[in-house]
Amino acid sequence: TQLLEQSPQFLSIQEGENLTVYCNSSSVFSSLQWYRQEPGEGPVLLVTVVTGGEVKKLKRLTFQFGDARKDSSLHITAAQPGDTGLYLCAGGSGGYNKLIFGAGTRLAVHP
Amino acid sequence: KAGVTQTPRYLIKTRGQQVTLSCSPISGHRSVSWYQQTPGQGLQFLFEYFSETQRNKGNFPGRFSGRQFSNSRSEMNVSTLELGDSALYLCASSFMTGDSPLHFGNGTRLTVT
């Protein structure tokens, strides 16, 4: 059974701080997707990484896929209150749209 | 372009009843996946439909079923509801199958009493 362990589970920080969220597995994934979910809404895709070692930047967010395609990280620079939400990583194994989701990191950024 | 639409948004049912949830994908998207989200288990894959065929099924009992119509709209059905079925049910659509980026609806919140 493929599992994705996401850490930390909760993060409460002040505006302007940096943070990193980790997503780890013992399984290899063909892709790793990151989503953000706000209360009362469905997850919204932030990025997809597919190549081992790949780094993608989305404004203040930096996503990295591990060389062995078993882990990923999300780094936020100078967090803002608008970054508050539930961040979810999801691994794909190819062939189907069956994603394995991590438990999520609930981020709160205080002004 | 309209997003993924799920109806109803909220549903309250009693144990033993059955329920049908509906999902309209983004126009042109042929794959529809369903996920169950609970505080304890997070997001878990239920099933995926592509061109009216079930492509894959998650580890859920047979009480959970679904179907997809020729216009790509999808429904999922849960029979003989149990208290543990209380969850947010999310539908996601994508243009193709196979690690495609998913576009989620806002879900149907089902409460079983």
What number is the average pLDDT over the span A39-57?
94
Q: Is the Cα dihedral B38, A65, A5, A29 positive or negative? A: positive
Q: Are B88 and B109 in contact (CB under 8 A)?
A: yes
Give the pLDDT score at B83. Answer: 97
| pLDDT band at B1; cut points 50, 70, 90 | low
Q: Quick one: closest CA in A to B49, which residue?
A: A97
> Is the Cβ pair A101, B44 closer than 8 Å?
yes
Where does residue B55 fall: left (phi above 0), alpha (psi -120 to 50 degrees), or beta otherwise? alpha
Mean pLDDT of A26-53: 93
Q: Give how far Cα A7 sits from Cα of A36, A56, A88, A106, Å.
A: 15, 20, 10, 10
CB atoms within 10 A of CB B52: 13
B contact set with A (CB within 8 A)? 4, 31, 33, 35, 42-45, 48, 55-56, 58, 90, 92, 94, 97-107
Q: What region, left, alpha or beta, does residue B98 occupy, with left being phi > 0 and alpha being psi -120 to 50 degrees?
A: left
Gap between the Cα atoms of B2 and A104, Å rounded:
27
The average pLDDT across B80-104 equals 91
Rounded mean pLDDT of B28-44?
Answer: 94
Cβ-Cβ pairs closer than 8 A, A with B, add up to: 71
Q: How far apart are the first and last CA of chain A?
A: 41
Rounded distance between C-alpha atoms, residue A50 and residue B54, angstroms = 25
CB contact under 8 A, B43 and A88: yes
Q: How far is CA B61 from CA A1, A3, B82, B86, in A?
A: 17, 20, 12, 15
For A49-59, what is the mean pLDDT?
A: 94
User: Rounded mean pLDDT of B39-49?
Assistant: 93
Greatest Cα pair distance, chain A, in angstroms, is 43
Nearest residue on chain A to B93, alpha-carbon basis: A97
> Across the interface, do A42 and B97 touch by the CB < 8 Å criterion?
no
Average pLDDT over residues B89-102: 87
Q: Using CA atoms, how far apart are residues B98 and A46, in angstroms rounded to an integer? A: 18
